[in-house]
Amino acid sequence: MEHALRPITRPAPLLGVLLALGCASDLVPSEDGEAHSSLEAGGIQTTENDDGTHTTVVDASDNDIWLAFDFESGEQVDSDGDSWDISFQRFKIKSNGGISGDGAVAVAVLDGEDFEALEHAPDGEYVEDADDGDDEDEDPDFAFLTGDGWYAYDPADHTLSPRDAVYVVRTAEESFFKVEMLGYYDDAGTSGYPTFAWAEVEPPTGEITVVASVGTPADAEGEEAEGEEAEGDGEVTDGSFGCYEPAAHMCECETDETSCDAAGGIWSGECPCGEG
């Protein structure tokens, strides 16, 4: 059983990003008359900004493909190689360290940090990708999902928007780059296009400690989720849990969390699966 959702509109904060990219990324009309970015399908496009920072857009809309990025070159690289730093698949971001790779990439999560003002990488704790822990999903605990994760999910319109945080990435080459997530939608409002600003920063002045990432605990909200959890056999027993499919803007109710994750969906308690 599927429930149609109203079309997703692009979140307002991304509009400025897309305007800023307009000079470097020509918009051409498609057959349906709408403007679409010249970003190649399955590609990564980077623009250098006037202030020395860069803005990168990733077509991570394929549920089955990871697209890898290297900060030193500012380019897309082979995800099976050793030089990649972070990689994208839909809303998931993994880093080349911990369980995800041998590059020793680690990430410092700085909530509420001013991206423009940050000039030095912090001392202290950095996290690397880890096996799934006691949290709300069955995904690995990627560094970019530490705590509440890089995005906030709005059940009202089923959109994702970046949280107020800056991420400092220690790369496979042991350089340091600051990252700010800017959006998740392209100029046509299609999901699966993470956009981020980045720039190199000075290394830490003190020591850093690398620890395993920890996702949001299952009881972090202090409330029990409504309805019963899926039994893992393809059936959703009760309540409102379902699989939101970003590409189709719909909730699929006849599935389970494992299948939802495999299909690139978002397991959500806000789907109207318990209705009717």
Residue-averaged pLDDT of the chain: 77
Burial-class residue 137 by CB neighbours within 10 Å (0-12, 13-18, 19+).
Answer: middle
C-alpha torsion sign, points 244, 247, 250, 256 = negative
Give dist(CA 46, CA 19) in Å, integer.
Answer: 14
Q: Which residues contact 270 (CB under 8 A, 6 or more apart)?
A: 155, 158, 240, 244
Q: Using alpha carbons, list the distances in angstroms from residue 24 to 44, 49, 56.
A: 13, 10, 11
Task: Measure the CA–CA gap between 167 and 95, rounded to whole angstroms.
Answer: 12
- pLDDT value for 116: 97
> Which residues is 57 bridged to in the sheet?
45, 195
Q: What is the pLDDT of residue 235?
A: 36
pLDDT digits (tens, 9 = 90+) for 42-73: 799 999 999 999 999 999 999 999 999 999 99
| Weakly modelled stretches of the chain, pLDDT under 50 | 1-36, 216-239
Residue 43 pLDDT: 92
> Would the CA dihedral through 97, 100, 103, 108 be positive or negative?
negative
The residue extents of the domains of the chain are 2-212, 224-276
238 Cβ contact partners less than 8 Å away, ≥ 6 residues apart: 227, 228, 274
Q: What is the pLDDT of residues 137-157, one digit of tens each?
A: 667 899 998 888 999 999 888
Q: Can you give the pLDDT at residue 269?
A: 65
Give the per-residue pLDDT at 241. Answer: 73
What is the rounded CA–CA span in Å between residue 16 and residue 6? 24
Q: Which residues, including other chains, have CB under 8 Å from residue 30's CB and lie 6 or more apart?
A: 36
Cα-to-chain-centroid distance, residue 93: 5
Q: What is the pLDDT of residues 86-105, one digit of tens each?
A: 999 999 999 999 999 999 99
The tokens for 182 are: 């800017």
Q: Are the beta carbons of 38 and 191 closer than 8 angstroms? A: no
